[in-house]
Structure 1
Amino acid sequence: MRTITIAMADPQWAEEFEKIRVMISGYIGDLIIGIEHVGSTSVPGLGAKPIIDIDVVIEDMSRLSSVIERLDLAGFDHEGNLGIEGREAFKRRYKDEFMPYHLYVCPKDGKGFRDHIAFRDFLRSHPDSVREYLKVKEDLALLYPHDIDAYINGKKEYIEGILTKILT
């Protein structure tokens, strides 16, 4: 059984993202607009589960089938949107040399991508909110140490509150 652990912020997370970005770009760089480091590991000073979240940005969903095909050849399975509209998840079929990561492909105008970037950029410029969000995450990890769904649902209220404030 996996235990949810919040690690202290680590500057190496940005370096790990860069290594993964270069690898992904080598497979699909000509099909995409960009590759963004999102999630808690992308915010300096924010503790996180040590898993890099990556949004691969495409012009629109017409590119998705080509991306799926290339990533399949590179050893990634397409997992669908996992219940979140505007975001397609991929998982490596084998363990590679990188630290753990979640890979998503998003259209540039999609809600999933927009929300990830807006929340990341807000936290990067609001240190008080970083401390507040870290406390939420730590409390949830203590309350639900083995229930990732409850942990994620618990964070959702805080995240949606910030997004409502900055996107409306």
Structure 2
Amino acid sequence: MIVPAEVVDYDPRWPLWFAAIRGRLAPYLAEVSHRIEHVGSTAVPGLAAKPIIDVDIVVPSAGLVPTAVARLAAAGYVHEGDQGIAGREAFALPPDAVHYHHLYVVVDGNKAHRDHVLLRDHLRADAADRERYAARKRELAHLLTTDRGAYVTGKGALVEEMIARAGGSPTAGGPGRTGA
């Protein structure tokens, strides 16, 4: 599956794509206490975004992370570790993925999970910041085909500002650490 490399206007199909992804994941996690959350820009109605669905598998304790990782491996996902963001386990897609998405396992309320939720909820509630963020992403979109890291870094200060204003605090995770 080709990684989307453009920023597009909000697509009302994104929540449906998330529902399809959640439906595919749920049977593999049936024996694990969890919830599946739509986070990231595609979870914010009206926000321009890369057409990539960000999904958090939220478990209640760190002790359940290895079990969730094993269950997702059984579903064809490849565990990629925390990718430099403590508290967030990332996965590569299985070959049969229908919609491109980023998948993470997080512990309920940890910093990585809070940052995802704080940014999502802030952007849902604040139209001015939603527009600022969309404009910044469009300004940087040309980097998506040449330097995705620079794209993420270029959004970093604004993401950090919005998370802080939403009640979060800075961390050593670095700018743009949410991936949104």
Coarse TM-score class (shorter-chain normalised): over 0.9
CA contact 1:3–1:145 (8 Å) conserved in 2 = no
CA contact 2:93–2:101 (8 Å) conserved in 1 = no
Which residues of 2 match residues 1-168 of structure 1 at below 5 A? Answer: 4-96=5-97, 98-142=98-142, 145-167=145-167
CA contact 1:51–1:100 (8 Å) conserved in 2 = yes
Number of equivalences: 167
Tell me the TM-score normalized by structure 1: 0.93
CA contact 2:143–2:150 (8 Å) conserved in 1 = no
Ranges in structure 1 where 5+ consecutive residues have no aligned partner: none
Tell me, what secondary structure is at the counterpart of 1:30? Answer: coil
Percent of aligned positions with the same letter in both sequences? 38
Following TM superposition, by how much is the alpha carbon of 1:134 offset from its aligned partner in structure 2, in angstroms? 0.3
- AA aligned to 1:21 is R
Following TM superposition, by how much is the alpha carbon of 1:2 offset from its aligned partner in structure 2, in angstroms? 7.1
Higher helix share: 1
- AA aligned to 1:39 is G
Tell me, what secondary structure is at the counterpart of 1:49? Answer: coil
Relative distance call for 1:2 and 1:109 in structure 2 (3 A) is: closer
CA contact 2:69–2:105 (8 Å) conserved in 1 = no
CA contact 1:58–1:108 (8 Å) conserved in 2 = yes
Q: Deviations 1:23-47 (Å, cap 9, x if unpaired)? A: 1111103313211100010000111
Q: Decide which moves more: 77-86 or 29-38.
A: 29-38
Q: Deviations 1:121-164 (Å, cap 9, x if unpaired)? A: 01101111111100000001136642100000111110100111
Distance 1:143 1:151 in 2: 6
Distance 1:115 1:29 in 2: 26
